Chain A
Amino acid sequence: MILKQEKGKIIIKIEKIEEQEIKSKLQELIIKGLKEIANKNQVILDLGDMGLNESEFKTLINTFDSLSIPIDLIRNTNPITKMISINYGIPIDAPSVINTHNKLNPRTIPTNNKNNTSNNNKKIETSFLEPSKSTLNQDILIHRKNIRSGSLLESGKTILLIGNVNPGAEIRSSQNIIVLGKLMGTAHAGYPNNNNSIIFTLKLKNPLIKIANMVAEFDENEIKKQIKSKEISNILFYHDNNLIRMEIIKEQKE
Chain B
Amino acid sequence: MERLKRSIVVTSGKGGVGKTTITANIGAALANLNYQVVLVDADVGLRNLDLVLGLENRIVFDLLDVIENRCRSYKQALIKDKRISNLFLLPAPQTKQKEDVPLDKFKELIDEIKQDFDFVIIDCPAGIEHGFKMSANAANEAIVVTTPDLSSIRDADRVIANLESMEKNSTKLIINRMKKHMVKKSQMLSIEDILETLNIELLGIVPDDEYITISTNNGEPVVLNKTKPLYKYFNNIAQRIVDFSIAIENPFNEGNIFQKFASLVGLRKTK
Contacts and interface: CB of A to CB of B under 8 A. Distances in A.
Mostly, the B contact residues are helix
Nearest to A168: B154
Interface stretch (A43-51, A132-140, A147-155): A147-155
B62 interface: no
A168 B157 contact: yes
Contacts of B196: 164, 182
Interface in B100-155: 128, 150, 153-155
A146 B160 CA distance: 11
A164 B199 contact: yes
A176 interface: no
A166 B128 CA distance: 18
A169 B196 CA distance: 15
A146 B155 contact: no
B218 interface: no
Contacts of A182: 196
Contacts of B160: 148
Interface string A158-174: 00000010111100000
A182 B154 CA distance: 15
In this complex, the member of A146, A151, A167 whose beta carbon has the largest number of chain B beta carbons within 10 angstroms is A146
Given A164-B197, A166-B197, A167-B197, A151 B161 contact: yes
B158 interface: yes
Interface in B147-205: 150, 153-155, 157-158, 160-161, 164, 196-197, 199
Mostly, the A contact residues are loop
A184 interface: yes
Interface string A75-114: 0000000000000000000000000000000000000000
A148 B200 CA distance: 12
A150 B197 contact: no
Contact of A150 (B150, B153, B161): B161
Contacts of A164: 196-197, 199
Contacts of A151: 161
Interface residues of A, number: 12
Interface residues of B, number: 13
B199 A167 contact: no
A184 B158 CA distance: 14
Contacts of B155: 149
A161 B199 CA distance: 16
In this complex, the member of B150, B157, B158, B161 whose beta carbon has the largest number of chain A beta carbons within 10 angstroms is B157
Nearest to A150: B158
Given A167-B150, A167-B154, A184 B161 contact: no
Contacts of B158: 148-150, 168
Interface in A194-238: none
In this complex, the member of A148, A150, A182, A184 whose beta carbon has the largest number of chain B beta carbons within 10 angstroms is A148
A2 B199 CA distance: 51
A8 B24 CA distance: 73
Contacts of A168: 154, 157-158
Contacts of A148: 157-158, 160-161, 164
A149 B150 contact: no
Contacts of A169: 157
Interface string B253-269: 00000000000000000
A184 B196 CA distance: 11
Nearest to B165: A151
B147 to A, nearest CB: 15
Nearest to A203: B196
A149 B199 contact: no
A4 to B, nearest CB: 45
Contacts of B197: 164, 166-167, 184
A150 B163 CA distance: 13
A167 B153 CA distance: 9
Nearest to B13: A149
Nearest to B193: A205
A247 to B, nearest CB: 25
Contacts of B164: 148
Contacts of A167: 150, 153-154, 157, 197
The 9 A-B pairs of least Cβ separation, nearest first, read A148-B161, A149-B157, A150-B158, A149-B158, A168-B154, A148-B157, A149-B154, A166-B157, A167-B154
5 contacts: A148-B157, A148-B160, A149-B158, A168-B154, A168-B158
Given A148-B160, A164-B196, 5 more contacts: A150-B157, A150-B161, A167-B154, A167-B157, A168-B154
